[in-house]
Structure 1
């Protein structure tokens, strides 16, 4: 699954990074709504690239708005017309329940390629790219849950394949744009952490193909893009501070490797001289200098991330969609589908 990620860059930095990967965006929509975020969670704002019109070759960046700003299916504030929300919602609904906030934050690749189902009506003409610096996932070790951050080895922007849709709440007069992140089977280097990972598009050709919605049709070439990350490009994954688990917490430390604790005073002295024991992140892909299983904090146990608690006001829980890669909060963390 992929429900927590980071984008702490300023708009001008994002534009520069996009140029580096030959992704040329014509404009930002609602750039004043964008805020750098070290800990993006469901119901937070995000930056998403899509075509302004499915048949026009004009790319724009939209910012999403948290659903917690809505109550009882009516708008509690005036919305700009071009905003994206971090999950797909049904095209017409009475109000956003807690279950509906979470049940489609991810779209499974095997469900997307099917010629039927929730995604069939939008996958041909409403594809997008979600921008981030990396994503968080939690490793379960006994009763403990250890957050990990995964990013590109070179620090490039991650471009996550997604779908978007526009919705109108019953009784509302304005549209809300929503998106979902597509997930696929985890590659072998991240399988210790979770059995699913987001689809990451890396080369300009793949990104251009994904964003080209001029035909309005789904094709086999698009389906081929929905695959685990190419290890030759390289990923790095490492444990980070547990404070990232609380929605709303913000810190640059959430994107930095957390030093492993010393096992003895001797190790502590060694750490002062040589650096923290076990602080080197596990490099994934490229020239492999050590796999994730070389770290004492890593083993083959997939798990889900802590789910944000529902807002108290006007929020009810509901059943989870069969396409979901996540679930409403539970007392125990269960393995994702």
Structure 2
């Protein structure tokens, strides 16, 4: 299954927006979700705010959801049942301790293909008279052979044949997706420590520094 089969031209959506090379929690990011009559892309804030939250402050901490407990954790279980989405990304950053310091790496598909992370979205508002705040979180799981070099967790990267069932399937089907996700192809290289500030958004952030480290 490819994006065309979902009748979503997400590449055009991405190209129409300002490039974002360093999206951080509380920033707005593109998500693909199931809507009445099909699928659509939206810009939601990264960091999920549960519908029952008293305020939106806690969303900054709920930017990831563990795949092992996402179906039962109070902050995520309602969204897991009804509001699953895909989060498109060209890659992601992780830091590794080296020689007493931390070095960031950019992890991505070896051929630069767009990846789809498993995600959840939620709507929240302070009162019935307020506008809705839409937020999302990225589901993480155990690392693969490549990403384990850098970090003990990685985003759940879904192959095309699991996109539709993740977004539209019943909760037990979604749980089966998380249990059966194949290892994604990844490679990585070291990048500038400028990624530590979300104010930096230029394309140089994903360029390798020093020796490239292939998978």
Q: Give TM class, smaller chain.
A: 0.7 to 0.9
Structure 1: gaps of 5 or more residues: 1-16, 64-83, 260-278, 284-337
Structure-2 separation of matches of 1:38 and 1:186: 22
Structure-2 separation of matches of 1:59 and 1:140: 40
Mapping for residues 83-94 of structure 1, pairs under 5 Å: 84-94=44-54
Residue 61 (structure 2) pairs with residue 103 (structure 1) = yes
Partner residue, 1:42 = 25
Partner residue, 1:281 = 213
Contact 1:111/1:117, CA 8 A, preserved across alignment: no
Number of aligned residue pairs: 213
Deviation at 1:92, TM superposition (A): 4.3
Deviation at 1:113, TM superposition (A): 3.5
Following TM superposition, the consecutive aligned residue runs of length 4 or more in structure 1 with deviations greater than 4 angstroms are none
Partner residue, 1:128 = 85
Structure-2 separation of matches of 1:256 and 1:229: 29
Equivalent residue in structure 1 for 2:42, among 56, 62, 66: 62
Equivalent residue in structure 2 for 1:255, among 174, 195, 206: 206
Deviation at 1:18, TM superposition (A): 4.0
Structure-2 separation of matches of 1:235 and 1:186: 11
Contact 1:26/1:59, CA 8 A, preserved across alignment: no
Structure-1 separation of matches of 2:75 and 2:202: 36
Write 1 or 2 for the structure with the bigger share of helix. 2
Equivalent residue in structure 1 for 2:168, among 204, 208, 212: 212
Contact 1:185/1:228, CA 8 A, preserved across alignment: no
Structure-1 separation of matches of 2:180 and 2:96: 19
The change in CA–CA distance for 1:223 and 1:171 in structure 2 (over 3 A counts) is: closer
Contact 2:143/2:153, CA 8 A, preserved across alignment: yes
Deviation at 1:186, TM superposition (A): 1.2
Equivalent residue in structure 2 for 1:140, among 82, 97, 100: 97
Partner residue, 1:11 = none
Structure-1 separation of matches of 2:148 and 2:10: 38
RMSD over equivalenced CA pairs, Å: 2.8
Deviation at 1:87, TM superposition (A): 1.6
Contact 1:184/1:228, CA 8 A, preserved across alignment: no
Structure-2 separation of matches of 1:236 and 1:27: 24
Specify the structure having the higher radius of gyration (Cα).
Answer: 1
Partner residue, 1:222 = 174
Partner residue, 2:120 = 163
Which SS does the other structure have where 1:131 is aligned?
A: strand
Structure-1 separation of matches of 2:140 and 2:150: 14
Deviation at 1:239, TM superposition (A): 0.6
Structure-2 separation of matches of 1:171 and 1:212: 28
Contact 1:27/1:59, CA 8 A, preserved across alignment: no
The change in CA–CA distance for 1:141 and 1:27 in structure 2 (over 3 A counts) is: closer
Which SS does the other structure have where 1:40 is aligned?
A: coil
Equivalent residue in structure 2 for 1:151, among 84, 102, 108: 108
1:109-164: CA deviations, max 9, x gaps?
A: 111234x6332222122110011100000111243110100111121111000111
